[in-house]
Amino acid sequence: MIPAHKFPIGEKLIWLLIHTSLHRHFDRIFLRMPATLQEKTACGQPMIVCANHASWWDGYIAALIEHYLDVDGYLMMEEAQLRRYRFFTWSGCFSVDRHDTRSALQSLHYAAHLLKERPGRMVWLFPQGVIKPNDHRPLHFYNGAAHLARLSAPSLLYPLATRIEYQAEQHPDLFISMGEAIHVDEEAIHGSGFLKSCTQQLEQRVTAELDHLRTDVLNSNYAGFTLIMQGQSSPNRLFDAVLLRKPLKRQ
């Protein structure tokens, strides 16, 4: 297993890479999240984010949310990928080999240690294991998130959905929607069939978040969203600026 290796200069360098890439590629980035996170009332507990895995951008999205919330975050990354891009350990990535049961358990125990070591940390998992199209159904999750919740209880499991949509600009918009947390306490983890029931609940919650997000985006319903990044201007906006004319009104 490849552990995370955070240090201040490394974190700044990786954040510069991520911020520059997001700024260049996306026109706007929107975030919707629970009030408890907005008010930072949940940040003293271990937080596990379980997101759909729809694109190459998912790790960058995790870093963006961690930076926006100002939390100490870590991300579980496929070992073969992390071996190729080991510098991502500087920003809190650690490896998992889901094809090796013993190694995968080692990664989960490592993640649980991170969560327990310091209050308010956040660990990201993509329980699908592989990238799937955004509207692929049904979702199938491995039970690693449930294992981690059991090892780090009491903890908060957050379902998260992302959607990339091309609208009125050359660059796409990115929408991120985080649902209310599932509270995992000591009593729950000792219940019969916890791993199976928790994994099924996560599948249902992430699916519901994805469906809700799709409906809102298709209907241009941005209530509850916060614009957290305005990207690089598309050529049409630059052209309008040169001609000193107002851009076309859009949602």
Q: What is the pLDDT of residue 169?
A: 84
Q: What is the pLDDT of residue 43?
A: 63
Q: Which residue spans within 2-72 are E strands per DSSP?
A: 28-32, 47-51
* Start-to-end C-alpha separation, the chain: 46
Name which of 76-85, 99-108, 239-248 the model is least confident about.
239-248
Architecture of the domain defined by 8-242: 3-Layer(aba) Sandwich (3.40)
Find the length of the chain.
Answer: 251
CA distances 8 to 11, 75, 82, 91, 172, Å, are: 5, 17, 20, 9, 31
Q: Residue 26 is encoded by which pair of tokens?
A: 């996306």
pLDDT digits (tens, 9 = 90+) for 207-249: 999 999 999 999 999 999 999 999 877 766 666 667 667 665 6
Contacts of 188 (CB under 8 A, 6+ apart): 153, 194, 198
Residue type, 102: R
Q: How many CB atoms lie within 10 A of CB 24?
A: 10
Q: How many CB atoms lie within 10 A of CB 247?
A: 14
Residue type, 162: T
pLDDT digits (tens, 9 = 90+) for 193-218: 999 999 999 999 999 999 999 999 99
**Vertex 20 angle, CA 163 and 76, to 5°:** 60
Cα 12 from Cα 90, distance rounded (Å): 9
Q: What is the pLDDT of residue 167?
A: 86
Residue whose C-alpha is closest to residue 51's, from 229, 199, 178: 178
Give phi and psi for 78, each to the nearest 5: -55, 130
Mean pLDDT, to the nearest integer, of 24-48? Answer: 85
Q: Domains of the chain: which residue ranges?
A: 8-242
Q: What is the pLDDT of residue 237?
A: 67
pLDDT digits (tens, 9 = 90+) for 121-153: 999 999 999 999 999 999 999 999 999 999 999
Helix/strand/coil for 231: coil
**89, pLDDT greater than 80:** yes
